[in-house]
Chains A and B, each alone.
Chain A
Amino acid sequence: MIEIRGLTKVFGEHRVLDGISVDIREGELFSVIGPSGMGKSTFIRCLMRLLKPDAGSVKVDGQEMASVTSEFTLAKIRRSFGYLFQEGALFDSLTVFENVSFGLKYLTDIPKSEYPRIVREKLALVGLKDVEELKPAELSVGMKKRVALARSIAVEPKYILYDEPTTGLDPVTTGMVKDLITDMRKKLGVTSVVVTHDMNLALEISSRVAMLNNGKFVEVCEPACFRRSDNPEVREFMRISHISKE
């Protein structure tokens, strides 16, 4: 479980996260929605401590992230996370095989002889095969996303963080990524956190949805309850997303 209490992040004068408190429960698919530039990515970056919060606490399975000072301990905690970046963030200079096996090399003690089997298995899980020797530049946007997802699940993390997983994708690839996210949860039983501005995606796949606005969660509840919300900020965002109240 990830316990978040009073999470605050300030950039200059701008309070991007302003005392957020929420628990992300085991096995759930928790989505954070909100307009662009409202701090959604900052929120998940703080969970993995890619960004250091200015105040508040993030506990991952009881371990307080802020108290970790050793780079080695932090790397061990990060072992339980997979992170899907908005653009994939695949390493350009490495092949698909090297990208997917990267975490195995640095985060696990799995012998090298096992890498080809694991890489093949994870690529198959995201619907890809025979792409091991290709470089990221030779892949389509959708394939890049899938390879990036294979890379993040290669070490079998407990949590997967998705940063705007469908941004810039065509409707077909968006549908495919949506299926992948739900599949990952079903097949691997992972806890997922998705940040997105795609309200349809969030309402369709999530077990709970939170709306981030002006540094705070203005609403946190299940999709059905979210659709019925009377919160004006939620209503406005739903109106813009062409979603009507149930």
Chain B
Amino acid sequence: MRSAFAEKVGREFMDLAMAMGRTALMVKSVAFWSFRSRFEAGEAARQAVKIGVDSFTVTALTSFFTGMVLALQMGQSTKNLFNEPIYVGTMVAFSMLKELGPVLTSIVVAGRAGAVVTAEIGTMQVTEQIDALYTLGTNPTRYLLVPRYLAFMLTLPLLTVFADFIGVIGGCIVGVVKLHVPTSVYFDDIFTYLSISDFMHGFLKTYFFAFMIATVSCYKGLNTRGGAEGVGKSTTEAVVISMVLVMVLDYFISAFLVAVGV
């Protein structure tokens, strides 16, 4: 009984170690093909639209309402403590720029675009389209992975900038309409206390998140087995792993950036 359990745990660790090894090889291959062949500009642009532009509406809605609820909660809390809603703009901007903007945008992109990428590559894998690429003289890493990595790395930071801005505007609307904070005060609070390094703190994190989401989505897609059911399983796994890793990475990258003074 005990040995069966140990065997199961051991096998899980072995599988994890092998998956990490294969992921490292895939990333190495992406790095290799990024500089060794003609660039698939058209495919990268198509992916940027699919990943970035198509995720914009969901990102905008998410960050808008997040900004609104932040302003409402902050304003109400400070009103209870000090009889007046103070530093609403500062609180909303700090939260959006440093944490919620990058994290929520990454979660939206992982759930939406990450799932699309895994399902697309997974379907190509189970229908032999990946093998067909080899037979037609094209390395799948070069044709499929490099443009997707690039699209994630380009669009996620941009989406985050939009999300930050929309969140701050959402907070402003609640601040002005519900909490009666003048617009000038709201923005003055932001520009007085926020520095460019606060923005950079959140912005830099998105590159790590984009790289991680691209890696998980592509890896899960390429390792899909077992027809339509396998595609569904890979897609779910990719989304769950990406979302959890966004949270985990967020802490460690934040700790690192704080340590280096960003």
- How many chain B residues touch A (CB < 8 A): the figure is 14
Pairwise interchain contact A75-B137, C-beta atoms closer than 8 A: yes
- Report A's interface with B, CB cutoff 8 A: 45, 48, 50, 71, 75-76, 78-79, 81-83, 85-87, 89-93, 102-103, 106-107, 151-152
A-binding residues in B (CB < 8 A): 120, 123-124, 127-129, 131-132, 134-139
| Contact between B128 and A107, CB atoms less than 8 A apart | no
Q: Is the interface of B mostly helix, strand, loop or mixed?
A: helix
B132 touches A83 (CB 8 A): yes
- The one of B128, B135, B136 that contacts A86, using a Cβ cutoff of 8 Å: B128
Shortest distance from the beta carbon of A175 to any chain B beta carbon, whole Å: 24
Q: Do A87 and B128 touch (CB < 8 A)?
A: yes
Q: Across the two chains, which residue of chain A brings its CB closest to B143?
A: A106
Q: Check A48 against B137 for contact (C-beta < 8 Å).
A: no
Most-contacted residue by chain B among A75, A87, A92, A106 (CB, 10 A):
A106
Q: Is the interface of A mostly helix, strand, loop or mixed?
A: mixed
Residues from chain B with Cβ under 8 Å of A45 in the complex: 131
12 sample A-B contacts, Cβ–Cβ < 8 Å, listed by A number: A75-B138, A76-B137, A78-B137, A85-B128, A85-B131, A85-B132, A90-B132, A91-B129, A103-B137, A106-B137, A106-B138, A152-B135
Question: Known contacts A86-B128, A89-B127, A92-B129; is A50 also within 8 Å of B136 by CB?
Answer: no
Cα distance A151–B132 when bound, in Å? 10
* Alpha-carbon distance between A87 and B128 when the two chains are bound, in angstroms: 8
In the bound assembly, the distance between CA atoms of A87 and B127 in angstroms comes to: 7
Question: Chain B residues near A82 (CB, 8 Å)?
Answer: 135
The interface residues of chain B lying within 8 Å CB-to-CB of A86 are: 128
Using A45-B131, A107-B137 as known contacts, list a sample of 19 further A-B pairs with CB atoms less than 8 Å apart, ordered by residue number in A: A50-B131, A50-B135, A71-B139, A76-B137, A78-B135, A79-B137, A82-B135, A85-B131, A87-B127, A89-B127, A89-B128, A89-B129, A89-B132, A90-B129, A92-B123, A92-B127, A92-B129, A102-B136, A152-B135
